[in-house]
Each structure stands twice: as structure tokens, then as C-alpha cells.
């Protein structure tokens, strides 16, 4: 009973954290831009710093003063670092999708709707149970994809103002007008739309693979909680802090570390890291990626959508097709959860992971 309650609490925390991630990050991007658009690298740096604090410093202190079960293993470190790298690259995909005109109101539902498809197939493949997939399970995946397309096509086209609604008025009015030499070269509508889809797809693949890969790292560390989280935080620090810092020095960007934008971006990173910890706690409480991740990816877009609509006061601009698409995304994710061959996969996967851990 205790494990069940902890599992539900962990899932709830992750759904709330990851649901808030996209809208909060978008506000941070808007708050840092100096040209009235959205920043890319500096918000990403803030996300990496938040992950480093929550995913490296805090767990390291926990291990030093309190310790926990499990131990370090090379295979566990490699898998956990790979999971963190996938998470960081997925976050970068979200940022770039926003940069090329994507809005949280449809980017996040599509990412959270498509990621269970990747998650389910990767988990089933790693467990060697591809032949056990039934037609209803595949129907759920098709419904997720169909719902994501409907959400994309019917999303409000003017849901984001030039400046964040949460950006102080003095910052909005004092934004300098860029000179012709510093004005960024913008791709045409077709290429912007294409790049938007490419980066959304990259986020779907990375975040879909995140859960199964991280689970293998945790299993190889004898189901430790803090050690895999430290590896995730280190991967984020390398990809989201060190690498962007180099590009900022070499290429620059029309953005600055404004207090409001920095705060929002750090909050987004904190939500992301909190969700990562929730995933690890869910795995540690008996959850398996084949149903934990679809459940998270089914609930997070609901939180993300309602938060975005409320923050942007877009209730009157939402048409029925958008709601229908969102319902299809959630329903398809639920079908993936319920109809997936999770019992056999969990047993087979646990056996394989126990061998790896030994």
C-alpha cells in the first residue's frame, strides 16, 4: 500500500512539473530576448543550472549525509548519462521549436502525445516482446498521432503576444530596436514550419526514449534514486550549460539575463528536474516505463494546455477541434497504458535488468 501511494504521488508530481515546464520556459525565453522574439541559448543555460542544483548538488549532499541503497556501476552510469543527454536534447528541441514560431499550447501536447509512442516501442523492443503487441495497442498509438495532428492544425494562431504577459512593462517598453546589422535572419514561413516540426519530432524521440533508458540505468545501480539523478544532472550541465556558453561566446545572441526571464527559465529547469526525480521515484516504487511514461505523457499536456490558456486568456479563441484533438491525445495515451503487454514486459524486463545489475 505504501509503494502504491508513493507511486501515485510520484506520478502526480511529475505530471504537474512537466506540464508546467513548456509554458514557464516560453515565458523565460520571451523575458530574455532583446529583439521582441524569443531567446534560445540563455534560457537553456538556466535550465541546465537548475538541473545541476537539483540533480547534482542536492542528491550529492543527500548521499553524503544520509546515504541510500544501491551502488555505482559503470553500466548504470552510462545508461543514466544517456538518459540525461536525451532529456537535455529534448529540452533543446522544445526551445528551438518555440524559437521557430511554435507555441506551448500545441507544441507540448504534440510532444507529450508522441513521446509515449516512442517510449512504448522502445520498451517493448528492449524487453524482446514485439510479437506480443496487439491491434488495440497499435490503435491507441494511431489515435495519439491523429490527436496530435488535430491539435497542431486547430491550435490558436495568435496565442502569444510579442512580449510575455508576465514581463514587467518597463522591460517591454525599454527594449532596444535592433539595427539592420544585428537583425537576425528569419527563415520563410515554409522553412520555419518545417524546422518547427523537425525540432518537435526531435523532442518526441528524445523524451520518448528518456524513461526506458533511465530505468535501465537505475536498475543497473540496484534501484538507487539519487545516483541516476546525479548522472542526469551532469549530462544536463554538459549539454545545457557548457556547450551553450561556448556558442554564446563565439556567436552571440540577441538576449540578456534579465531578472524576470532568468527567474522563469530557472523555474522551468526546476520543474524539469522535479519531474525527473518524480520519474525515478515512480520507478523505485514499482512502476515500469511501459505504463509510467504513457501516464505521465497523457496527463502533462492537459496541465500544460490549461495553464497556457489561463495565462494567455485564450479561452475564447479555442475551437472545438482543438479540444477534440487534445481528448484524442489523452485517450490514445490511456489506451497505450491499459492495452500494452505491460505484465509480460515488466517481468521480462526486470529479469534482464537484474542480470545487468549483477
Look at residue 306 and tell me whether its pLDDT is greater than 90. Answer: no
Evaluate if residue 325 carries a pLDDT over 90.
no
pLDDT level of residue 50 (50, 70, 90 thresholds): very high
Q: How far, CA to CA in Å, does 106 sit from each of 50, 79, 99, 156, 158?
A: 25, 31, 14, 9, 12
> CB within 8 A of 10, min separation 6: which ones?
278, 279, 281, 282, 285, 287
| Predicted pLDDT of residue 103 | 80
Of 52-66, 145-159, 162-176, 277-291, minimum mean pLDDT range = 162-176
pLDDT tens per residue across span 331-351: 876 776 667 665 444 434 443
Question: Are 294 and 119 in contact, with CB atoms under 8 Å apart?
Answer: yes
Which range has the worst mean pLDDT, 88-92, 161-165, 259-263? Answer: 161-165
User: For 201-230, b where at least 16 C-beta lie within 10 A, e where not — what string?
Assistant: bbbbbbbbbbbbbbbbbbbbbbbbbbbbbb
Q: How confident is the model at residue 34 (pLDDT cuts 50, 70, 90)?
A: confident
For residue 192, tell me if it sits in a domain.
Answer: no
Q: Please determine, for residue 60, whether its predicted confidence score (pLDDT) is greater than 90.
A: yes
Decide if 179 is inside a domain: no
Cell matching residue 74: 559503470
In a domain, 98, yes or no: yes
**Would residue 136 count as lying in a domain?**
yes
What is the arithmetic mean of pLDDT over 189-208?
87
Task: Report the pLDDT value the prediction gives residue 336, as an integer from 0 to 100.
Answer: 67
Q: Are the C-beta atoms of residues 52 and 276 closer than 8 Å to each other?
A: no
Provide the mean pLDDT of the chain.
78
| Report for 55-64, 160-169, 303-312: range of highest mean pLDDT | 55-64
Contact by Cβ (8 Å): 322, 151: yes
Domain assignment of residue 299, yes or no:
yes
Q: What was the pLDDT predicted at 3? A: 74
Q: Are 332 and 144 in contact (CB under 8 A)?
A: yes
Q: How far apart are CA 335 and CA 107, in angstroms?
A: 22
Structural domain harbouring 254: 2-164+209-357
Residue 53 is assigned to a structural domain of this protein: yes
pLDDT of 66 over the 70 cut? yes
Rounded distance between C-alpha atoms, residue 103 and residue 301, angstroms: 13
pLDDT attached to residue 265: 93
Span 111-134, pLDDT tens digits: 877 787 787 778 777 777 767 777
User: Does 190 reside within a domain?
Assistant: no
In a domain? residue 121: yes
CA distance 149 to 325: 7
The share of the chain scoring above pLDDT 90, in percent, equals 22
Q: What's the N-to-C CA distance of the chain in angstroms? A: 28
Is residue 285 classed as helix, strand or coil in its secondary structure?
A: coil
Which tens digits make up the pLDDT trace of 206-235?
A: 988 888 898 889 889 988 889 999 999 999
The pLDDT value given to residue 59: 92
Number of structural domains (the chain) is: 1
Q: Which residue has the cell 523537425?
A: 198
DSSP state of 177: P
CA distances from residue 292 to 10, 71, 139, 316 in whole angstroms, order as listed? 10, 24, 19, 34
Question: What confidence score (pLDDT) does residue 63 get?
Answer: 92
Task: Give the residue, 344 or 109, on which the prediction is more confident.
Answer: 109
According to the model, what pLDDT value does residue 46 have? Answer: 92
Amino acid at each position: 500500500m505504501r509503494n502504491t501511494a508513493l507511486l501515485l504521488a510520484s506520478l502526480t508530481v511529475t505530471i504537474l512539473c512537466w506540464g508546467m515546464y513548456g509554458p514557464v520556459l516560453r515565458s523565460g525565453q520571451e523575458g530574455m530576448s532583446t529583439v521582441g522574439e524569443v531567446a534560445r541559448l540563455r534560457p537553456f543555460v538556466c535550465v541546465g543550472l537548475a538541473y545541476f542544483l537539483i540533480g547534482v548538488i542536492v542528491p550529492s549532499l543527500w548521499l553524503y549525509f544520509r546515504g541510500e541503497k544501491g551502488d555505482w556501476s559503470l553500466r548504470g552510469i552510462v545508461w543514466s548519462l544517456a538518459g540525461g543527454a536525451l532529456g537535455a536534447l529534448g529540452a533543446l528541441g522544445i526551445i528551438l521549436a518555440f524559437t521557430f514560431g511554435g507555441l506551448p499550447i500545441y507544441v507540448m501536447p504534440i510532444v507529450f502525445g508522441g513521446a509515449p509512442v516512442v517510449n512504448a516501442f522502445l520498451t517493448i523492443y528492449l524487453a524482446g516482446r514485439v510479437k506480443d503487441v496487439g491491434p488495440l495497442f497499435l490503435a491507441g498509438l494511431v489515435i495519439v498521432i491523429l490527436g496530435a495532428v488535430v491539435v497542431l492544425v486547430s491550435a490558436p494562431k495568435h496565442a502569444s503576444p510579442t512580449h510575455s504577459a508576465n514581463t514587467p512593462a518597463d522591460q517591454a517598453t525599454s527594449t532596444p530596436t535592433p539595427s539592420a546589422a544585428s537583425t537576425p535572419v528569419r527563415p520563410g514561413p515554409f522553412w520555419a514550419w518545417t524546422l518547427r516540426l523537425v525540432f518537435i519530432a526531435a523532442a518526441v524521440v528524445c523524451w520518448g526514449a528518456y524513461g526506458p533508458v533511465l530505468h535501465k540505468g537505475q536498475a543497473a545501480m540496484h534501484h538507487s534514486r539519487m545516483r541516476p539523478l546525479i548522472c542526469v544532472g551532469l549530462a544536463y550541465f554538459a549539454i545545457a550549460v557548457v556547450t551553450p556558453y561556448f556558442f554564446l561566446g563565439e556567436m552571440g545572441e540577441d538576449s540578456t539575463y534579465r531578472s524576470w526571464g532568468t527567474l522563469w527559465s530557472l523555474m522551468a529547469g526546476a520543474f524539469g528536474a522535479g519531474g525527473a526525480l518524480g520519474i525515478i521515484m515512480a520507478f523505485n516504487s514499482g512502476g515500469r516505463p511501459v505504463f509510467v511514461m504513457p501516464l505521465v505523457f497523457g496527463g502533462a499536456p492537459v496541465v500544460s494546455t490549461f495553464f497556457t490558456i489561463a495565462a494567455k486568456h485564450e479561452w475564447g479563441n479555442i475551437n472545438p477541434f482543438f479540444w477534440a484533438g487534445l481528448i484524442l491525445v489523452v485517450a490514445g495515451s490511456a489506451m497505450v497504458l491499459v492495452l500494452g503487454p505491460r505484465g509480460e514486459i515488466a517481468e521480462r524486463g526486470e529479469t534482464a535488468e537484474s542480470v545487468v545489475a549483477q
